[in-house]
Amino acid sequence: MGINRFRQLADYNHWANRRLYAVALEMPDEQYRRPTGVFFGSLHGTLNHLLVTDRIWLKRLTGEGEHPHGLDAILFEDRKDLLCARMAEDARLIKVIGGYTDAGLRDAVAYQTTSGKAYQQPLGDILSHLFNHQTHHRGQAHACCSILTGTEPPSLDLLQFQRGVPAPELTV
């Protein structure tokens, strides 16, 4: 996979997050926080987890930014604060990916897991994991929205993004 595909995935990530957060912001708080059986318990827990892991990976890749220590950390209790942080992290991810080249995707990146174990992998493999992980948990968050509202949330399909389906502009 070339760098242009990763750039597209970074843009897609931002688009999908805006569509998902538009639904999450409309829910009553009790509904938004209700346990649904997903791995991080609730929509709130899942959205926080996605921010946590993006921050962890961006810290590993750039040496800058926050590095939360627990994968289940709740970084923000308030949804609007979480949204602001999410949008900032999306912009940061787009910028970081924009600075990489095709050749750089083969470069080895050394990092430590949250448990302290050392690894080294090609940048391209790490980026593949990062975007796959986002899609996995965003799918869980999408299911939470469906379960909690009883309606079908907006599609998060990559093809919808590629076709130019708009995402809402979110304000807080």
Structural domain contains residue 170: no
Structural domain contains residue 82: yes
pLDDT (average), residues 136-154:
95
Structural domain contains residue 168: no
Structural domain contains residue 167: no
pLDDT on residue 44: 97
Cα–Cα distances in angstroms (integers) from residue 165 to residues 25, 28, 60, 95, in the given order: 20, 27, 33, 23
Count of structural domains, the chain: 1
Structural domain contains residue 53: yes
Write out the DSSP string of 10-32.
HHHHHHHHHHHHHHHHHS-HHHH
Supply the range of the domain harboring residue 85: 3-162
Residue with the two structure tokens 């076709």: 163
Domain with residue 35: its CATH number is 1.20.120.450
Structural domain contains residue 37: yes
In this model, does residue 112 exceed pLDDT 90?
yes
Cα–Cα distances in angstroms (integers) from residue 44 to residues 18, 40, 56, 116, 159, in the given order: 15, 8, 18, 27, 26
Structure-token pair, residue 136 = 């996995």
Note the pLDDT tens digit of each residue in 14-46: 999 999 999 999 999 999 999 999 999 999 999
CB neighbourhood size of 165 (10 A): 13
pLDDT on residue 66: 84
Note the pLDDT tens digit of each residue in 51-96: 999 999 999 999 999 888 789 999 999 999 999 999 999 999 999 9
Cα–Cα distances in angstroms (integers) from residue 148 to residues 11, 91, 134, 135, in the given order: 27, 29, 21, 20
d(CA 5, CA 3): 5
Structural domain contains residue 132: yes
Structural domain contains residue 85: yes
d(CA 21, CA 68): 22
